[in-house]
Amino acid sequence: MRNLEEARLFWDDFAEEYAEIQEESQVSIQRDVSSFLLAKKILPTHTFLDLAGGVGKYIPEIIEHVEQYTLVDFSEKMLEITKSKYNYPNLCLLHDDQESFLKQTPKQSYDLVFSAMNPALTTPNELKEMIRIANKYVCLLRVIEEKDTMFSLLETPDEEWQWMEMYKTWLSKPHCTQTFTYTSKEKISKEFFVDYFSIDFPIAKIQTLADDLFKETTEKINETTITFELLIIEI
């Protein structure tokens, strides 16, 4: 319980900043996921559950294709932000933690159970419960890789990227996947690059790497590629 409350407090404190990050993102993953589900005739549908839905990032693209959109999150602040942004008559916001919600939800309650970047989906039983409450499909979305031409040289891969492969090992039901890849570019100064790594590495090492990377320039284009994977489980 203590860990749950600590996590809840963290996300409440982070909610406004998180919402701003979502607003500033140039990645069109919401629209692309919605278009893909429509093309596969997974949408439209009647009842749609957005589990750990946060500030409702996927609502605008999906809600017009469902009769009832239910978003569940354990952060009250996240739900307050979502409520202030969206006023759809077919939108229901529920304040509950994942374990409690799954336990009290009857079998096959939602045609489509969707969850994107869910930090609480960490055990086979949680996935089993998500499948239990789904009537037609469970769709899980996660980042499986993010790399760039500059910072990835010294950064270790994020362990979070491994979760999607773990989910697949837990499954016995038919499933398929779809990837979505996006590329962006931004200018990075040599000074920023050195400062960014100065805490983690000896300054002499970073300076040598920066000299080699930037050559005679003070700025360089950093290209970032991020890949999402959508796992579709058919019930």
Residue 130 lies in a domain: yes
What is residue 17's predicted lDDT score, i.e. its pLDDT? 85
Which CATH number characterizes residue 40's domain?
3.40.50.150
Residue 205 lies in a domain: no
Q: Binning pLDDT at 50, 70 and 90, where does residue 141 land?
A: very high
Split into its structural domains, the chain has a count of 1
Share of the chain above pLDDT 70, in %: 98
Q: Which residues of 174-201 are buried (b: 16+ CB within 10 A; e: fewer)?
A: ebeebebebeeeeebebeebbeebeeee
What is residue 101's predicted lDDT score, i.e. its pLDDT? 98
Residue 151 lies in a domain: no
Q: Binning pLDDT at 50, 70 and 90, where does residue 1 land?
A: very low
Q: Binning pLDDT at 50, 70 and 90, where does residue 73 land?
A: very high
Confidence check: pLDDT of 235 > 50: yes
Residue 217 lies in a domain: no
Domain encompassing residue 98: 2-146+157-182+225-234
pTM: 0.90
